[in-house]
Amino acid sequence: MGERPNRYIPLRYKLLFSYIMLVMIPVLVIGTYSYLFSQRTTEERTRENLEVALKQFNNNVRFRVADIIRSSDAIYDDQVLSRNLAGYHLNMERYQVMTQNVLPKLESASLLPNVKVLLSIYLDDPSISEFYYEEKEEFLRDGHRQYGILYTDRIRDTDWYQALDLNYGSMEWIQVGTDEQYQNISLIRSLVDYEMLKVIGLIKVTFKLRDIFEDIDFSGLGDGTKLLIVDGNKKLLYADSKTMKEYDESLLTDTVNYLQMSETIDNMSAEIIALVPVTSFKQDSLQMRNITILVCMLSLALALVLSVLTTKVFTKRFSKLVISLQAFKEGELHRRIKYRGNDEFRQISEAFNEMAATIQNQINEIYISKLDKKEAELQILHAQINPHFLYNTFSSISRMAKLGELEKLHEIIRALAKFYRLTLNKGEMVIPLGKEIEIVEAYLAIQNIKYAGRIIVDYELDRTLLVYETAKFVLQPFVENILEHAWYDDQIEIKIALSKQDGRIRMEVRDNGLGMKEETIAAIFSESGNGIGYGIRNVDQRLKLHFGQEYGVSISSVVGEGTTIYLDIPIRSAAVVHKAKAD
């Protein structure tokens, strides 16, 4: 059964599709990036604003909390009051101690903070009479301050009392009794007997949550933003009236719909938590997405118009090059390319025309001037660029153009133009090592594109040697030999090295290919090699011709492991080389 023929698609349409993709992909990538960047930037800006706001809220609350702590310090730090409450007095002195010392100090402590408080002392030992008030919601609501003394037995069986874990100097902020009902909170501290160093009771300072959080603007952070005050167990203490009614504990774990920021309140086991709806900072990002879609549509329309014009011009120029190369391959050495542009096609056209003229002139010179055989071979090797290699390269270029591989197409055209520009080099036969390396790089770049990157090249160059000169076209023949004769696996590794050894310059071309037997190496350097190693002998003889018999080519090879070619030349500057050749 025969293979199904490939559907014919004109190069123009392939290039048209490629240009459209070249326009659309960057627009989509940039648009997507802009959308994500805008979203991230908005989120970061929101976080920064929230962080500043929460810190300001914390500062406002901190002063009020510190004010209440100072009120409890007035009781906690008073050692005289501690002695009197611990019962260090006679029974007959109890009334006097109560009226002249204890109650005045409690009253003073209750009046100390700016906020209205209810101050209660709970004593473990009933060494002093109780003095208490009936705790009512309207006391704090109406701005009354109260203080009293009670016995611990009144609260000993309560859950909150049994859960207390107070140490000397520590304090807890909890809602006890009717605190939660009246939206109050209490500061609990231990009362210490400083002479016996033991706890003799508790200090409880109760106040309205509203009084310490009144400076917080619960509605000023934007639409839909919720501001919560929670305790250490994430229990809601305070919020605006709407949030208090609608509050659900799942809000604190909803990271999909809300951006959450928190700030711990100094000196108080509570947090200020802000919940910002994610939709509030995605509006700008959605606008960016819509703009991206619009730009894509406009770019598509523009790309269609420009691509039609561009592909028409490009395919016309390319066809002209292919026709001229085909004619040159068939022997029409007089054929030339006329091109008016100023781009890579012009460079290739000029290189082709110069190559054709050079080859034609060299052929004429061989027959007319009857030059010395070796010098003639040298000139031909320098000037005769293999049209088959060039045609194959342009066939690859044509294939890439048909496949729409524009990046590879541009790379191989630039490499080909560079290769011919360097190899022709105004007909000079002695060039700097740097240019010789560039010739190999350009040649390998072309081949590596043709072979889809299966040629692994490593350069190990002493770049201080690149200014010295060598005979032209001494490395490329060995690289070509590797590709034609040594390559047997899926990939081939080639190493080009340049170093200074024993007062001379050494070039190395190393591969991991098939390798050669000793008999083959000997046959290469033999004059009767029966066609084996003609290119290697030619390079060796040219190096000897230019620099002397002590220089030239040597080979080291192991079958199955690879081959290393050594090229030794003297260290000579351009002036010395040209003078030696003239002599």
pLDDT at 334 over 80: no
Q: Given 181, 213, 245, which residue is the final one in a domain?
A: 213
Using pLDDT thresholds of 50, 70 and 90, give the confidence band for residue 346: confident
- For residues 96 and 208, state if they share a domain: yes
CA distance 522 to 489: 26
Gyration radius of the chain's alpha carbons: 47
- Write out pLDDT tens, residues 197-234: 888 889 999 888 888 887 776 666 667 778 888 887 78
CA distance 235 to 301: 59
CA distance 201 to 545: 112
Q: Give me the pLDDT at residue 253, please.
A: 78
Q: Give me the pLDDT at residue 142, please.
A: 63
Query: 568 with 552: CB under 8 angstroms?
Result: yes
> How large is the average pLDDT for residues 69-94?
82
- DSSP H or E segment with residue 261: strand 258-264
CA distance 131 to 301: 89
- For residues 251 and 375, state if they share a domain: no
Residue that the structure tokens 């054709």 belong to: 356
- For residues 100 and 148, state if they share a domain: yes
CA distance 125 to 120: 15
CA atoms lying within 13 Å on the CB side of residue 307 = 21
- For residues 467 and 424, state if they share a domain: yes
Task: Count CB atoms within 10 A of the CB of residue 294.
Answer: 11
Q: Is residue 57 part of a domain?
A: no
- For residues 395 and 478, state if they share a domain: yes
Q: Give me the pLDDT at residue 45, please.
A: 78
CATH (domain of 403):
3.30.565.10
Query: 179 with 185: CB under 8 angstroms?
Result: yes
> How large is the average pLDDT for residues 316-321?
71
- For residues 443 and 566, state if they share a domain: yes
- For residues 274 and 388, state if they share a domain: no
Is 462 or 351 the better-scoring residue by pLDDT?
A: 462
Using pLDDT thresholds of 50, 70 and 90, give the confidence band for residue 251: confident
CA-based torsion, 104, 146, 122, 165: positive or negative = negative
Listed range (369-373, 391-395, 534-538) with the worst mean pLDDT:
369-373
- For residues 141 and 251, state if they share a domain: no
Is 572 or 316 the better-scoring residue by pLDDT?
A: 572
- For residues 350 and 405, state if they share a domain: yes
Q: Give me the pLDDT at residue 505, please.
A: 95
Q: Give me the pLDDT at residue 371, please.
A: 35
Q: Given 178, 213, 248, which residue is the final one in a domain?
A: 213
Instruction: For residue 470, give the 3-state DSSP assignment.
Output: strand
Q: Is residue 100 part of a domain?
A: yes
The total number of structural domains in the chain stands at 3
Q: What is the DSSP letter of 91?
A: G
pLDDT at 139 over 70: no
Q: Where are the alpha helices (DSSP H) in 77-144?
A: 79-86, 94-97, 103-111, 137-141
pLDDT averaged over every residue in the chain = 79
CA distance 115 to 105: 18
pTM of the model: 0.45
CA distance 582 to 579: 5
DSSP assignment string, 457-524: EEEEE-GGGTTSEEESSSSHHHHHHIIIII--SS-EEEEEEEEEETTEEEEEEEE-S----HHHHHHH
Q: Is residue 519 part of a domain?
A: yes
pLDDT at 579 over 80: no
Q: Is residue 231 part of a domain?
A: yes
Complete edge-to-edge strand list for the sheet that includes strand 504-511 = 455-461, 492-501, 504-511, 562-570, 552-558
CA distance 261 to 327: 76
Q: Is residue 444 part of a domain?
A: yes
Q: Is residue 355 part of a domain?
A: yes
CA distance 305 to 399: 25
Q: Give me the pLDDT at residue 466, please.
A: 92
Structural domain of 122: 77-213
- For residues 208 and 270, state if they share a domain: no
Contacts with 531 (C-beta within 8 Å, 6 or more apart), sequence order: none
Q: Given 281, 302, 321, which residue is the final one in a domain?
A: 281
CA distance 373 to 538: 11
Burial 333-345 (b: 16+ CB within 10 A, else e): eebbbebeeeebb
- For residues 491 and 468, state if they share a domain: yes
Q: Is residue 239 part of a domain?
A: yes
Task: Count CB atoms within 10 A of the CB of residue 493.
Answer: 15
Q: Is residue 496 part of a domain?
A: yes
- For residues 108 and 146, state if they share a domain: yes
